[in-house]
């Protein structure tokens, strides 16, 4: 297999950072240790790197990254012009890593994820896996609130028909070809946890216990968590639109039951004049309107899917196309054109 690094793959560890000045020194020490051990084992190339993406921090994160870059051959930095959020910062890092890395590990800066697991990631990569998901085994260190909301989020995503790996955040390894495929998804709102399983290829999971944040505080308050959840659902699923249609049918059914009751009351003569027709109209028109909205929504859902322009399939191996033959065919066509002229 050909690697950027010759016989040995180059690993880039992408780390999005937002106001992380208090952890970066320790993160660098621990990640460097892992990289050095892997280099000694000849598992990764000595050109492997740590890429810190400064997501518009307002503290000294960028200065720290620059200092670390001067003192360590492994540390590189990318500074974004403003804060764009964890997902986008990660995507920025993955995009530039694509030009020189054979595999990429993404990890948070705060050392909550066990860095030793990267060695297992690399082992799986060498055994032919293109995607290795880091899955949190225990969430003991998370607050009760965070644990339950996270669980509810995974459940909700499943109900909405989005295929995501339970208890997996963005700690994972992906191979160069998966990175390339990621580039084919041109949608603006890339929700990586949903897209990576969608790409396919051979994948596996590695379990680990999640630690406390090394220093600093969470940059994911409830507001950002809800925004990520909403983003995940609305950029993957048209199920919420379908709920409108379902609600319409439920209303129509209720209308049927209500009409029996309403007509019954009318027959018994207990109603004021106009009540019967008013009640029936409300239920009926309500149902019709919801169904109508749902139908319009279905078409909008289709437009939305089309507008994403996602690849319809991704080829893993191709034994049919012969690059030489294709080039010959192109050449012969060119010749014919030349003859015609």
Nearer to ligand UDP, 169 or 291 (CB): 169
Name the one range near Mg ion by CB under 5 A: 7-15, 100-108, 144-152, 327-335: 100-108
Positions that interact with ligand UDP (CB under 6 A): 16-18, 20, 55, 83, 85-86, 89, 108-110, 112, 218-220
Q: Which does 102 bind (CB under 5 to 8 A by kind): Mg ion, ligand UDP, none?
A: none
Tokens of 220: 């994911």
Q: Which does 125 bind (CB under 5 to 8 A by kind): Mg ion, ligand UDP, none?
A: none
Nearer to ligand UDP, 83 or 271 (CB): 83
Selected binder of Mg ion within 47, 102, 110, 170 (CB under 5 A) = 110
For residue 288, the tally of other CB atoms under 10 A from its CB is 14
Nearer to Mg ion, 47 or 170 (CB): 170
Nearer to ligand UDP, 62 or 251 (CB): 62
Determine contact, residues 204/159, Cβ cutoff 8 Å: no
Tell me the C-alpha to C-alpha distance, in Å, between residue 311 and each of 151, 168, 289.
30, 24, 35
Selected binder of Mg ion within 19, 27, 112, 167 (CB under 5 A) = 112
CB of 96 to ligand UDP, least distance (A): 15
CB of 329 to Mg ion, least distance (A): 53
Q: Which does 114 bind (CB under 5 to 8 A by kind): Mg ion, ligand UDP, none?
A: none
Nearer to ligand UDP, 90 or 122 (CB): 90
Burial class of 46 by CB neighbour count within 10 A (0 to 12, 13 to 18, 19+): middle
Size of site (CB under 5 A) for Mg ion: 3
Nearer to ligand UDP, 18 or 74 (CB): 18
Name the one range near Mg ion by CB under 5 A: 110-118, 132-140, 174-182, 292-300: 110-118
Q: Which does 85 bind (CB under 5 to 8 A by kind): Mg ion, ligand UDP, none?
A: ligand UDP
Q: Which residues bind Mg ion (CB under 5 A)?
A: 108, 110, 112
């Amino acid at each position: 297999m050909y690697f950027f690094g010759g016989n040995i793959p180059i690993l880039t560890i992408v780390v999005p950072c937002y106001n992380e000045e208090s952890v970066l020194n320790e993160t660098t020490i621990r990640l460097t240790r892992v990289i050095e051990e892997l280099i000694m084992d000849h598992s990764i190339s000595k050109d492997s790197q740590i890429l810190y993406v400064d997501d518009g921090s307002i503290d000294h994160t960028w200065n720290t990254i620059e200092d670390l870059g001067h003192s360590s051959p492994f540390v590189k930095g990318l500074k974004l012009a403003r804060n764009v959020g964890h997902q986008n910062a990660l995507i920025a890092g993955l995009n530039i890593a694509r030009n020189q890395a054979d595999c990429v590990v993404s990890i948070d800066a705060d050392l909550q994820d066990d860095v030793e697991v990267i060695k297992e990631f690399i082992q799986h990569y060498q055994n032919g896996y293109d995607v290795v998901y880091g899955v949190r085994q225990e969430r003991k260190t998370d607050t009760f609130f965070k644990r339950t909301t996270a669980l509810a989020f995974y459940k909700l995503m499943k109900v909405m028909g989005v295929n995501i790996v339970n208890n997996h955040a963005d700690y994972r390894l992906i191979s160069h070809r998966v990175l390339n495929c990621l580039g084919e998804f041109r949608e603006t709102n890339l929700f990586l946890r949903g897209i990576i399983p969608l790409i396919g290829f051979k994948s596996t999971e590695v379990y680990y216990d999640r630690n406390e944040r090394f220093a600093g505080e969470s940059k994911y308050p409830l507001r950002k968590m809800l925004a990520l959840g909403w983003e995940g659902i609305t950029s993957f699923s048209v199920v919420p639109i379908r709920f409108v249609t379902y609600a319409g049918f439920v209303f129509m059914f209720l209308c049927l039951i209500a009409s029996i009751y309403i007509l019954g009351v009318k027959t018994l003569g207990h109603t004021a004049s106009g009540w019967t027709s008013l009640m029936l109209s409300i239920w009926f028109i309500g149902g019709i309107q919801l169904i109508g909205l749902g139908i319009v929504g279905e078409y909008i859902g289709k437009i939305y899917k089309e507008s994403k322009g996602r690849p319809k399939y991704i080829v893993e191996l191709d034994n049919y196309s012969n690059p030489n033959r294709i080039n010959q065919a192109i050449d012969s066509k060119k010749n014919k054109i030349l003859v015609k002229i």
